[in-house]
Structure 1
Amino acid sequence: MTVTSSKFPQLYFRLALSIGFFLPVADRLGLLGPAGQHAVSWGNWENFAAYTNTLMPFLSRGTASFMGVLATICEVSIALAFLIGFKVKAAAIGSFLLTLIFAICMFIFSDPKVPFYYSVFADSAGSLLLACVPAYYWSLDNYLSKKRRR
């Protein structure tokens, strides 16, 4: 296998996206340390909920907080799916949509540069590209597919 085949790049990207979804969840749950500590964006749920409300000012605070809960559940589910390679295409489509919505909200309600600083549009585009891959090597999907063919 060479680096130019799609086997290694898709695995690398799946794992990078997985970590990229897990770490912000850990941050908003306070698992990376308190707010203000180096490399900690929120440090707790309250700070994350307030940030969510700034990205969705058209929603009430309670509704924006609910959307934050929903996004967190989606992020954990997508991260797990990418990590173990289960339902990768569905996870990639979910990742594309979630990150696209996030990027658009950041662009409109924060600062147009912010989603580019954090590569949110790139993550969204990469997720869409990952959804177009015909087979996911080194994945539970691939293992189960081979098992069904036997």
Structure 2
Amino acid sequence: MNVKYIKLFLRLALSSAFLSAVADRLGYWPDELSAWGNWEAFEAYTQSINPWFPKSTIPIVAIVATVLEVLFALLLLVGFKTELIAKLSGLLLLLFALAISIAYNVKGAFDYSVYSAAAAAFALSTIHSKYLELDSYLSSSKE
């Protein structure tokens, strides 16, 4: 398979995973498909996997995580600074996986494929060819 299609698939898969998680915590998924279902449940989960943060800072941690997920999803979707955003996405996913693993156990991070998603993001960051990316348009318009 051509690497440009693999790169596109990685971008779409990571973007959709981030956006789906955000939609869940904002209550856009039906209850039977939802992990959190609402913001309050998401904040409670954020506290449970980050017990080292003071409880008063959890709303900020939850907001920062959500903003980063939306931002990374949109930038990956359009292909802007893909390699950098993929690295940052991998780091965010790895931090999430480690938090789950430390707070509960590694099985949760494995069950939700968070380590796999982090690996996919880091793999995406190594693919430098451009395909259906804003970056390719921007670089060609500079020439």
How many residue pairs end up in the alignment? Answer: 143
Q: Please identify which structure carries the higher helix content.
A: 2
Q: Per the alignment, in what secondary structure is the counterpart of residue 106 of structure 2?
A: coil
TM-score (norm 1): 0.91
Structure 2 Cα separation of the partners of residues 68 and 27 of structure 1? 13
Q: What does 1:1-150 correspond to in 2, within 5 Å?
A: 3=1, 5-33=2-30, 37-149=31-143
Q: Offset at 1:26?
A: 0.6
Percent of aligned pairs sharing the same letter: 39
Q: Distance in 2 between matches of 1:19 and 1:62?
A: 30
User: Structure 2: which amino acid aligns with 1:84?
Assistant: V
Shift of 1:61: 1.7
State the distance in 1 between where 2:55 and 2:38 align.
16
Further displaced range: 125-134 or 41-50: 125-134
Contact 1:25/1:72, CA 8 A, preserved across alignment:
yes
CA drift at 1:63? 1.1
Report the AA paired with residue 82 of structure 2: V
Q: Unpaired runs of 5+ in structure 2?
A: none
Moved over 6 A (4+): none
Letter in 2 for 1:107: S
Q: TM-score, normalised by structure 2?
A: 0.95
Structure scoring higher RCO (CA < 8 A, sep ≥ 6) equals 2
Shift of 1:135: 2.2
Query: Can you list the C-alpha shifts for 1:81-110, whole angstroms capped at 9, x where unaligned?
Result: 111111111210110110000000011102
Q: How big is each residue's C-alpha offset from its partner over 1:11-45, in whole Å with a ceiling of 9 and x where there is no partner?
A: 01100110000011011011113xxx211011110
Decide which moves more: 59-68 or 103-112. Answer: 59-68
Deviation at 1:139, TM superposition (A): 0.5
Structure 1 unaligned regions, length at least 5: none
SS of 1:38's equivalent in the other structure is helix
Q: Distance in 2 between matches of 1:51 and 1:70?
A: 15
Provide the C-alpha distance between the structure 1 equivalents of 2:121 and 2:14, rounded to a whole number of angstroms.
Answer: 8
